Amino acid sequence: MRADEVLKAGTTPLTAPPYTRIRRRFTDREYFTVVYRTDPDALRHAVPEPLQVRDDLVRFEVMHMGDVLGFGPYTECGQALPVVFDGEHGEYLHAMYLNSFAGTAAGREGSAYPKGLGEPALRVEGGALIGTLDIGSLRTAVATMAYKYEPLDLEEAKAQITLPTFMVKIVAGYGKRPQVCDLVRTRITDITVHEAWSGPARLQLFEHVMAPLADLPVRAVVAASHVRTDLTLEPVHPVHDYLEEIS
């Protein structure tokens, strides 16, 4: 195999890379989001400098991807935390769990998404939209919302989804010091909101050492939404170099 072919593969195994480096278009992406108040001290502990905590809210979300270029359908869930960076309001992606290895690997290696494997699910049952997360055989999250209870303004739904997002990108080095340790920024673009709903909701988080969602405990549910969209993820770009800060 020639050197240029090694570079073209982008990741290993070289003869069967699990993902390709393309701009991801998501068709029929379904969001179920529950916004809740949490412990302010726990939130400050979870958010890395130089991001600043904006308030005591957490956005728990379950997303079903109807179709994704290069991956096909899969489901993921996680937590996003409201932050401010250089005067810009956005969200810090704290943790994400997927039932797609290719989506997990591409999100972590090719970008900076804090993804791990899990079994999230989204379904409608008994008049309720239900989102769950299982880690192995243990249930770690259950969210419910009255199904299509009240229409949500499409522009408001779009604004919720298109906030800039921040993540930490770490590439391990050959010793203890990483090769890359950056704070990065990205944003959703080219979005079409097909429908949006709000309604009463509940959320339970359960203790699990490999998925510590409950470290940001639910104090009170503030809002919930159910949105169906098509959208594109922009590539990430660095906004802060931790290695430069500590060198």
For the stretch 24-37, pLDDT in tens is 889 999 999 999 99
CA separation (Å) from 111 to 89, 184, 237?
Answer: 21, 9, 9
CA separation (Å) from 215 to 40, 79, 141, 207?
Answer: 11, 11, 12, 8
| Set 115, 158, 169, 176: catalytic member | 115
Least confident of 26-30, 101-105, 130-134, 189-193: 101-105
Which secondary structure element, helix H or strand E, spans residue 206, and what is its range?
none
pLDDT digits (tens, 9 = 90+) for 209-243: 999 999 999 999 999 999 999 999 999 999 999 99
- Which are the contacts of 67, defined by CB distance < 8 A and separation ≥ 6? 26, 27, 28, 73
pLDDT digits (tens, 9 = 90+) for 167-222: 999 998 898 889 999 999 999 999 999 999 999 999 999 999 999 999 999 999 99
Average pLDDT, the chain: 94
In this structure, are residues 246 and 240 in contact, taking their beta carbons and an 8 Å threshold?
Answer: no
Would you call 115 a catalytic residue per the annotation? Answer: yes
Under DSSP, is residue 5 helix (H, G, I), strand (E, B) or coil?
helix
Q: Does the pTM of the predicted model rise above 0.85?
A: yes
User: Quick one: pLDDT at residue 83?
Assistant: 98
- Which are the contacts of 18, defined by CB distance < 8 A and separation ≥ 6? 11, 101, 102, 105, 106
Is the pLDDT reported for residue 246 higher than 80? no
DSSP string, 113-170: --EEE-EEEEEEETTEEEEEEEETTEEEEEEEEETT-EE--HHHHHHHH-S-EEEEEE
User: Quick one: pLDDT at residue 12?
Assistant: 85
Least confident of 17-21, 72-76, 130-134, 163-167: 17-21
